[in-house]
Structure formats: C-alpha cells, structure tokens
Structure 1
C-alpha cells in the first residue's frame, strides 16, 4: 500500500531496549506463530510493491509465493544494526535462492531489485502495479486449485546443495569476519545460525536464530550501529534549511575541476548515479589521464558486480573532458577539486562567477581552507559551499556539506539532495578549521605518529586497528589519501592549534625519499596492480631516522604497550 509492502521491524524499539535494558520490549513473534502461517491449509501470496525489507521480507517468505512490481526492493539489512534476521530469514532465504546468493544478500545487507530477485527464485513473478493484486489473487487461487506449486520455504532442500559444499561456503565466509568478530559479532553469529539449520534442519535453525537475535540486541555493536542509524537520519534535518518549505532544484549536469584522485572519484560517483559530468583539467594529457582514472573506477565497480556492464557503459557516456569553461554555461553545480592552494582556488572561483549561470552552485572539495578565503574575490558568497568528499570519493559514503554564514539555504539543500542522489550521507557542518571530520580525525593520526615516536611499529598499529574492525589503519589510509593531503591538513591544524599538536617529520621524510603513497606506488606499503598493499619493510629505516629527529622514548627505549591499550588510545 502506497509503495511500501513492509519496511520491517520498528527500529525505535531497539533504541528503547538500549536505553532501558528491557529485552521484553521485543514483540512476541514466536517460531510457532510464523510456522503456523507457513503450514496453514489456506495459501498466502505476498503482493510486494516498494520495500520488503527485514521482517517485511521474512513475512513475504512465509507466504507460498511472492509477486512484485518492477520497482520493488527486497532485502535483509539486519546486520547493519548489529543483529541478524530474527523471524526465519536465515533459514528460508538459503532454501529459496541457494546458499551462495543468500550469504551475499545477508552479509552485504544490500537489497535486491525485483528482476534480480525473480532470477534468483525469491520472487515468482514481476508485474505492473496495476496488475499486482489481480495476479496475486489468481496465483493464490491457482495454488489452491493445484495448478501452481504449494511451496513452503522452510521445507525446501532442492537449492541447498551437498553438506560438504555448504559447510565449505560457510567456512570461507567465516574467514572474512573472524578478525573483527569481537566488535562485530553479528556476522559470525549469522553464519553459525545458518549452519545450524543446514546441519539439523530448518526448524532447529529458526529456534537458534530467535535465541541469537535476542542476545545480539543487547551487544555494544547493536547499540552503536542503531545509534549511527538514527544519527544518519537526524543529519538530513537541518534547521532553517529542511524545515522552511524549500524544494531542491534538480542537478542534471555538474562540472568537476581537477581530475586527480579526488576529482576522478567525485566524477565517478556522479556518472554512475545518473548525473552528466564535465571534467576539466589543465592539459590534454591531464584530461586523458583523468578520464582513464574514471574508466578504471567504473570498470572496478562492474567487476565487483556493484554495476551491471550495461549501467557501466551508460555511465561512461555521461562523462566529457574539457580544457576550458566553454561547457560551463548550463551546469547546475561546479565542484572544485584541485590541490590545496589558496591563490589557485581563488582564481578558479573568480572565473566561475563569470562563466556559470547565476543559479549555479559553486562548491569546493577543500578539506582545510576557509571558504571565505576561497571566495573573497567573488560577489557570489551566497552560492559558495564546501562539498568535502572522502577518498576514494566514489566508495566512501560521507559527504561534509560545509556552510558559511552567507551560504543560502537553497544552496545547502541542493547539495544535500545531490549527495543523497549519489548515495552519500550528507552532514552539514560549519566553516571552521578541519570542519568536523578532519578536526576529529587529525587527533587519530597524531596519536598514531606519537606512538611511532614512542617505539611502536607502524605496521603493528595498522594491524591492531584493522583487527579492531576498521577497514584500514592510519598509515595505510595516509598512503591512500596521498601525502599532500596529510601535509596540508597538518599545516592548517598547526596554525590554528599550535600549542596542542604533536608534529612528526615522518611524512616529510617519506616525501624526501621519493614516496607518495599509492599515487606513485611507494609509501609505507608497496602497491602493485591487482595485488593488496604489502608492508614495505625498507620504510623502517626512515622511521628510525624520524625517531632520532624527535626522540621522546623514555630512557631511549620503546614503550611496552598491549594491543588493547593501543586501541583505547
């Protein structure tokens, strides 16, 4: 009804449980009740329009058939909240679509489009909204009349494969999550529950599922992830912007200035989400290199099945290189993504004011420079805003929307809306040193550098942070971001907080030795095409030189510190 079959469990209940510790607030959806519906003598068919997520999909899988509209989305996103599906999803989904596909759906938490769901066997037919109820009713009548199969998901075994194959798949999946299991227990728990059903039958599986679900609700992982869920929702509500009746203007064409690591990533994020892009660079060679980088990003997304080949090809048709401003006459937004150089950015913005239409949003991807400084030579302060993406920009979900006191509410709303369109989480922040993320993250990096000077191995620091659950440690991240960004952030933060910073010469020594992280294939790690970054042990000599320049080790000896103490720091 209204494009939403069922979005699942009311997540507000999780919040109340976390506040009170009262697990009895969970709704009583017993195993007996759900199985009674599935085993009933009257056939049921789920007519799915819009969303069937979490408990909504579990409800649909209790039915004997599922009919969906073309725009329907089906999925089990529970793991993103620190729990597992709790109403039979871990048992019924593998029996409907096979274990490999079910593992992918549950562990990734990504919804399936209805056409893909039909291909896998989760959906029986895809029909128009106008035909949905008619077809669903007829399907139920056909089941009752015997002309359509009466399928009870929990009793199916034809898609499961052999026990040896299934245990092998689960073990392989388990290896990907063992390292971070302490802080994200829901992944191994989900695999364990699936395995229980495979070994002892679906009914035993859902009994264990119910027990494990209840246990996970009270974990720190669930508390933190539910908090993040509500924080993300709250971020879209900005006083005097989202509550004053403004409507976002459609952004169909964006110019990106600068095709380096960040600019090519931003361009990628835009074109794969339906936005036409003009990518401007300073020379034909730079344009060629930038477009090649974008093509590489899109190809990588297609190889990882994030995009279909057809969508990847269509995305690249939205990209056009440029050497001048001749194509800027009809752009709705410009995102400047050049190096952190104040005179260069000021020159660009003064030029943009002359060549872009008067309604065009003028955004800078700066991570460190005051926006007033960038736009001080223009008369368009109300159109200037920060659009701070994070590297790699086509993958990282966060987008800092940086407002000044002069930025108009319409411009803020337009950038927030575009951010959501390209699948980012826009967070509005003030125009201050480091904005929000770098202001916090700078201390994380400084702490890691301080530990190196105290004698802790930098590769150990990265490993400990990865074991904790982060996708990478601070030094690998520094490599991927590029040392220029590190230097620029350091200079900005040091000038604002000179009495509160610890400055290591490590990045300067790395640059002096010809290293620049992933950009030139050499940093703290070695980068080779098609291979994971490998620690470069030769960098330890540079670390020793760094420690000699600033020697703060007590009595000249490395400190003794446990892994848990490193994490707490």
Structure 2
C-alpha cells in the first residue's frame, strides 16, 4: 500500500500531527497498510472479531508506511518483532490486551466509540499522543536490543534477506528515535522491493489463487454441487487421512474395508489423526470425539447409494482398482462422482470397463492427506466438466489448494518429480554420499530435507512402485538404478519398517544409519559406473542442485508443452505445496525463469555430454531449447495441445 514518492514526514504531519485528531474504527480485517494507517492515528477502536497484523514479510517486503516504527511503540519491541517476522495476526481482544488498540467494543458500537474518543481528544479530555514519538511502551534499551538480537539469530544465515532488513529498520528506530527509524524504513523497504524473494512470493500469492480457475471449465457457468456425504474405500495410511480431512470439513464419511480387522484398524487411524491435531492444539478433545461420530464403517457396498462421492484409496494395483470401480458403478447413484486416489495409474484405464467414465476423476491427495495442502485433480478423457467443478468445490470445502491436470502417467506432480529421485539415485551410484546430496538440497538450496531423507518418509516401496510406472512410460529418458529394489529386498522402507538411510527413531534430526552403507555399495556395484579405484566426480553443492533440479525443470517443460497443466504457474504451486520446493523461490518454473532458460539448457547439455550413461536423461526437450533460443520465459507457455 506504499505509493511512489511516499514521504514519511508528510504522512506524519497529516495523520499524527494534523489539525484534527483522527481515531480509526475497526470491525474486521485490518492488515498491512491498513494497520499502518491505524497505528498512526490518535486512537484505535476495534471489535472482538477484528484481525490485525502486518503480513508484509509473507510477500517478501517489509512494512513501508511506518509499521516497523509504530507497532513496537504500541506493543513493545519483542511482540512487534514477533508479529512482523511471523506475519502474525491478532484478534480484537488480544489487540486490546497488548495495547495495539485503545478500546474493544461490540461491532455495532465501534463507530460511535471512535467518535466519542476523537471528541475527547479534541476537547483535551484525553491526551493526544503521536505514536512515532512514544517510548512509554518500549522495553528498556538493553531488553529491546536483546529481543532483536535473538530474532536476528533465528533468521541470520537463512536463504532470504528481508527479515533482517525488517530488524534493521526496527533497531534503527530503537537506537535513533522514531523519525530516524521512518527514514531508515523507507530506504530498506525500497531495497526489499528489488529482491527476487519479493517477486517470487508475490508470484506464489497470485498463482495459488489462480489454480481454482481452469479455462473452459470454471468459466462456462456451471454451479458446483455440494458434497454432504462421501465414501472412502480403503482405510490405510492414505485413506484414513482422507477421511480425517473430510470430517474436519463437516462432511459425513462412510469408510469401507475388506474385513472387520482392517475396518477397526482404519477407524483407529482416523481417530489417531484427529488426536494428533488435539495434541497440537488445533482441535479440542470434545471436537475430535464429535467428529468421530460422523464416520460409519462398512464391509460392503449396500449403503453406497446414499453418498455424493466415492474416493477409492486402495493399493496401487490396476486390476484391483478396476474391480472396485465395477462394483461402485453398480452400487452408487448415477450422479455419484467416482474418484481414485492413485498417484500414477492412468485414470481412463481404471474406469475402462465401466459405463461411468464421465463421472470418474482422479483425486490425488498427498500424504498425510489431512495435513498436506495440495489436491491434484486428474481429468480423464471423458470426465465431465461438471464433475471437475464439483471436485474443485470439494477441495475448497476441505481447505486444499487444487490443481487440475490432464491424464498421463504420473499426472503432473509425480511425472515432473520422477527425475528428482532418478538423478539423486544416479549421483549415489556415481559415488556421491546420499548425505552430501541431502545436505546440498536442504542446507544450501533450502528444501526442508533432501531426496534420501524424503525416501525414508515416503517409503522405498512407494518409490519402487512409482519408478516402475515411470520406466514403462518414459523409457527413453530413464536411468536404471537398483537402489529401490535393494532397499525393498532388505526391508529398509524407511519410517514404515524403522530402517532407512537415517536412524528413523531420531525423527527429522536423525543421524545417518551406518547399516545403509552395504545397500549403497551394492547399488553402486550393480550400476557399474565406477571401476575399482575410481573416485566420485568432483561436484559442488550448486552442481548437485542443478543436476537434480534441472531435469525436473526439463520434465516440467514437457508437461507444459503437452498441455497437461492449465498454466505453467500451476506447476509452481504443485512444486511448493506437493514437493516442498522453497516458496520464497517462487516455485519450480518461476525459479528456472529467474536463472534463465539459456542457463538451464546449457547446463543440461553439459551434464549430458559429461555423464554419457545418462545422456538421454539430461538432454533438454524441444520446449526448453526453444525458450533458450528465443529468450521467452518458460512460464509464458500455454501448451501445444491441452489435455484439459
């Protein structure tokens, strides 16, 4: 909300020191520039339902209309730092307690209370204070400096710069006074506007909202039908998570399992999911118990005629899924949506033997389904637009960000990301340590964890299954590795069996497991890239990052060219919300465009020429080469032909 030519002194003379005292009435959201105006007023009145905060850091900038100076002068430096660095919003009652507002009244009374306060100030019955000059609510200098120092220690050395700029502005005001702080804030705000982080986060802000708009689907006037009752087939790890997500949205759930033992286990998993949220403070115990009352278990399809939608979450087996969908066609209403949670199997193949292909759709949740924010909606060749619109509406009900994609092996997310694991396995077989690779991806690039720790979380059994599908569909650019088969044979499936690349019992900070060394050595011998006495290639962290992520970009370019996604920015959202790509980098395609298609293309050619066993894997696709030659951004493409 900062305009060109913004002048802190002129703003102060108008708002804080003008001829008439200004008191602001707040009844709802008061964020960003709105709050910066509010804290410059002579007084503030809000309702309990109000939400106040300075979320600018969430889009890569710092507050630029005095927020870094005035907020700490009302709530103290420690609380002000906390609110700004975490883009934290406070409710009306808390705003009153911490001193952010002067009065909290019911919504219908805020204007009247604000008028009375303004008249009292004008008449001299209440002190008129200029926030930027106040020091009465600031901690003593020593304590204020400690609060900023502690915050700086948390953000220093990270992958983004703007939090430190925010702290620089705050400390300038604490040390030199509010007016000097305003001038420093303007300087640092202007600097934050130039950062790639700001461009990336703004891009993600709009890209995430654009996923709900699909050309030719959401713009043709279709009205979504409400999903009141949904059946889930399969109560395993994924199915139970889907059930929990539905229950949390107030949707009645029918859980089907093959026998009583499996059914009880599935209900137990749902209960455990909800209890996990209770422990984290996201649910109250009574709420969890009430939600469990809305799930019904069954061993047959007799009551499926009452559901609006079925989500099949059985094993990744085509024959099994085809049998289930044949049964569902017989048991469900003719208008019931039939969804499969498959992560890689062709949607059209799943429903091939039914007469219900127009209402069959892919609903690919990410694990754990009740926590992960992404839902990949896969449209088959004959899936109706109405069913897509209905499923998009469901995604909003259960608070998921959807991306609608066309049908192909792996769809968008798994297809684009299969090179991630392929390249990681190739580097391991070339002699690099899996822990060196993970360190480059996490500490240097900013992923929450690298590919091998992620394998431990997802399970080597899932990796083996997905790799088989990908190898069958994209044999021309696959690199064969024995790593997944060896891990499965040894029972090292990660979290599922308690054995992986890391010592599972230690959690996210778990150290490497020395027992994995023999599997790694067997995989290397089977690959045969290194002869006895050979040393691994010398690669920097940046080399590792580019060797792993540029093939992912390359596959993303193929997906864009084939029209698998509605728009390139959908891949950015999918990479951030489905594969934990750093949000502050703007997503996969946006990040590649910051580097430039020419750089990505030339490096892939370099890798292809240097590592001949993987030449086909690294070679740039036609779309990427065309962008590199023409200077066009990868994210400017709309696809050669749409699958949507």
- TM-score interval for Structure 1 and Structure 2 normalised by the shorter chain: 0.7 to 0.9
State the shift of 1:110 in Å.
5.1
Residue 75 (structure 1) aligns with: 53
Query: Is the alpha carbon distance of 1:405 and 1:115 closer, same or farther for their aligned partners in structure 2, counting shifts above 3 Å?
Result: farther
CA contact (8 A) 1:368 1:488 kept: no
Deviations 1:182-233 (A, max 9, x none): xx22233333333433444444433322222211211222222222223223
8 Å CA contact retained: 2:438, 2:451: yes
Give CA-to-partner distance per residue, 1:254-285, whole Å, 9 cap, x none: 33333333223333333334434334434444
Equivalent pairs, count: 544
Residue 238 of structure 1, CA deviation = 1.1
Contact kept in structure 2, 1:69 and 1:132, CA below 8 Å: yes
Following TM superposition, by how much is the alpha carbon of 1:38 offset from its aligned partner in structure 2, in angstroms? 2.8
Match of 1:233 among 193, 204, 209: 209
CA distance 1:178–1:234, shift in 2 (3 Å): same
Pairing 1:359–2:335 present: yes
The answer for the alignment partner of 2:452 in structure 1 is: 475
Contact 1:482 1:517 survives alignment (8 Å) = yes
SS in 1 for 2:496: helix
Q: 2-side partners of 1:358 and 1:137: how far apart?
A: 60
Q: Deviations over 1:277-336 (max 9, x none)?
A: 334434444444444444444444455455567766665555554444455443333222
Q: Which deviates more, 519-528 or 39-48?
A: 39-48
- 1:539 is displaced (CA, Å) by 1.3
Q: Secondary structure at 2:499's aligned position in 1?
A: coil
Hey, what does 1:330 align to over in structure 2?
A: 306
Residue 109 in structure 1 maps to residue 83 in structure 2:
no
Q: Does 1:252 align with 2:232?
A: no
Q: Secondary structure at the match of 2:361?
A: strand
Q: What secondary structure, in the 3-state scheme, does the structure 1 residue paired with 2:235 have?
A: coil
- State the shift of 1:347 in Å: 2.2
Aligned CA distance change for structure 1 residues 440 and 276 (closer, same or farther; 3 Å): same
Residues 90-99 or 307-316, more deviating:
307-316
Distance in 2 of aligned mates of 1:66 and 1:282 = 61
Structure 1 residue matching 2:520: 3-state secondary structure: helix
Q: In the alignment, which residue of structure 1 is the partner of 2:617?
A: none
Structure 2: gaps (5+ residues): 548-644
The answer to which of 428-437 and 550-559 deviates more is 550-559
Partner secondary structure for residue 214 of structure 1: helix
Tell me if 1:506 matches 2:486: no
Q: Whole-Å Cα distance in 2 between the matches of residues 148 and 283 of structure 1? A: 73
Q: Which runs of 5+ in 1 are unaligned?
A: 1-7, 10-25
Deviates more, 1:46-55 or 1:114-123: 114-123
Q: Do structure 1's residue 345 and structure 2's residue 324 form an aligned pair? A: no
1 CA distance for matches of 2:309 and 2:193? 43
Separation (CA, whole Å) in 2 of partners of 1:411 and 1:466 = 39
Report if aligned partners of 1:553, 1:559 keep a CA contact under 8 Å in 2.
no
Shift of 1:369: 0.5
Distance in 1 (CA, whole Å) between partners of 2:475 and 2:26 is 59
**1:442 is the counterpart of 2:418:** yes
Distance 1:196 1:161 in 2: 15
Which of 227, 241, 245 is residue 269 of structure 1 equivalent to?
A: 245
Could you say which residue in structure 1 is the equivalent of 2:5? 28
- Distance of 1:465 and 1:382 partners within structure 2: 42
**Compared with structure 1, are the counterparts of its residues 550 and 308 closer, same or farther at alpha carbon in structure 2 (3 Å cutoff)?**
same
Q: What TM-score does the superposition give when structure 1 sets the normalisation length?
A: 0.85
1:145 to 1:360, Cα distance in 2 relative to 1, 3 A: farther
Task: Give the CA deviation at 1:243.
Answer: 1.0
Choose 48-57 or 468-477, whichever is displaced more: 48-57
Match of 2:364 among 381, 388, 391: 388
The structure with more radius of gyration: 2
Aligned residues of 1:388 and 1:401 also touching (Cα < 8 A): yes
How far apart, in 1, do the equivalents of 2:191 and 2:487 lie? 47
Distance 1:528 1:238, change over 3 A: same
Equivalent in the alignment of 1:464: 440
Alignment-derived partner of residue 541 in structure 2: 563
Q: Check the 8 A contact 2:74/2:137 in 1, yes or no.
A: yes
Q: 1:46 to 1:475 in 2, by over 3 A?
A: farther
Within the alignment, does 1:373 sit opposite 2:349 as a pair? yes
Q: Does residue 420 in structure 1 map to residue 396 in structure 2?
A: yes
After TM superposition, the structure 1 = structure 2 runs for residues 481-496 of structure 1, keeping only pairs within 5 Å, are: 481-496=458-473
